Amino acid sequence: MAERLVGKQAPDFTMDTALGNGTDFGRVSLSDYKGKWLVLFFYPLDFTFVCPTEITAFSEAVPEFAKLDAEILGVSIDSKHSHRVWINTPRNDGGLGKLNFPLASDINKTVARDYGVLIEEEGVALRGLFIIDPDGELQYQVVHHNNVGRSVEEALRVLEALQSGGLCPAGWKKGDKHLAAK
């Protein structure tokens, strides 16, 4: 049985990145996000079919996440060099184009394994999305099969619900009432 991560300190990481400008590389650690919310998502591979739809949707939504004091980090097992080439490939040619957040390289698969999303026999990650609070505690995780893309709107809704501090019923949206504790 997989170890429970929600409600515990998020597994630490340090990874190389390709910055969304398509030119520069960087290095990122969980500690870089202390004091902010982090939406960390894993995807299987660069140059695939579903992944660009998610990655570009998250990139376009960066201003909405920023309003919630949240940053985004995408992760796959590809190299930072592969990430940079994919960012520099135009969208109409199967690429991403410039992004508003970095893509991290988990080439040794340690981070995917630590977060419980690595498909060992294939050497790729499942689609895992994790929301980590400003104190580094994992507040939310959802993991699903690789042929179904994620909803950016749902990630935003869940982040707002987590930040609301109340009991949120199904379908809760910002401005809705919380449930009363009994």
Residues carrying an active site annotation: 51
Which whole-number Å values give the CA distances from 40 to 30, 91, 94, 121, 126, in the listed order?
Answer: 10, 22, 23, 23, 13
Distance (Å, whole) CA 40 – CA 6? 13
Q: Token digits for 84?
A: 């940079």
Distance (Å, whole) CA 170 – CA 158? 10
The candidate with the shortest Cα–Cα distance to 15, out of 33, 36, 35, 30, is 30
Report residue 91: phi and psi, to 5°.
Answer: -60, -40
* Cα torsion through 66, 75, 45, 43, rounded to 10: -60
Query: Do 87 and 95 form a contact (C-beta atoms < 8 A)?
Result: yes
